[in-house]
Structure formats: C-alpha cells, structure tokens
C-alpha cells in the first residue's frame, strides 16, 4: 500500500466497527449459547449394571452423564458432591432421559 492510500483508509472507523461487532457478538450471541450445544452440560441418564457395584446397590441408577470415553463413563450422582468413573464393562445399557 502506498502512503497516500494508507492515509485514505479510515483506520479509526475499522477499529471501531470491529470492536462494536465483537462486543455485540459476545453480548448477544455467545452469552446466550446453551451449555448443551457445546457439550458442557451433564445429561440425565438411567444406567443399568450387570452386577451390584459401589455406586448403586441395585442394578439401575439415575445419574448425570458428564463424559463418555472408550474406557467408561464419568457420571455425577444427583445430590452428591463428587463424580465417579464407571468402567464400560460394568454397564449393560444406558437410557437417556428427557429433561
């Protein structure tokens, strides 16, 4: 760009426009994205076990699924302050509940 052309560009307007656009996006769009969209919210499930285990004395348990990996499930038990890891081989099936 030549010096005269650089002087012709209104850099202040461009910076002001970009700042306004970024502010509008962060306030109106990004702030209103639901956690479920990005995978950040636990999902209510009913987990069925092949045998009794340390988390549940019965063969079923209502939990919140936090993360699923190749090795098992990270779950949070309602009304408990901790999360648990459950190996995949201990679970026979999962039922996803509606919120």
- State the Cα–Cα distance between residues 39 and 1, nearest whole angstrom: 45
> What's the alpha-carbon Rg for the chain, to the nearest Å?
25
Residue 2 pLDDT class (50, 70, 90 cuts)? low
Among the residue ranges 21-35, 46-60, 65-79, 85-99, the one predicted with the least confidence is: 46-60
* C-beta separation of 64 from 44 below 8 A: yes
Residues 16-21, mean pLDDT to the nearest whole number? 94
Whole-model pTM above 0.75? no
């Amino acid at each position: 760009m030549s010096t005269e052309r650089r002087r012709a560009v209104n850099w202040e307007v461009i910076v002001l426009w970009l700042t306004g656009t970024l502010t509008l996006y962060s306030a109106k769009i990004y702030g209103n994205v639901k956690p479920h969209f990005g995978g950040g919210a636990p999902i209510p499930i009913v987990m069925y076990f092949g045998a009794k285990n340390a988390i549940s004395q019965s063969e079923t348990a209502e939990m919140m699924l936090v993360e699923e990996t190749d090795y098992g499930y990270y779950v949070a038990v309602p009304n408990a302050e901790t999360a648990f890891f459950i190996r995949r081989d201990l679970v026979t099936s999962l039922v996803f509940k509606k919120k």
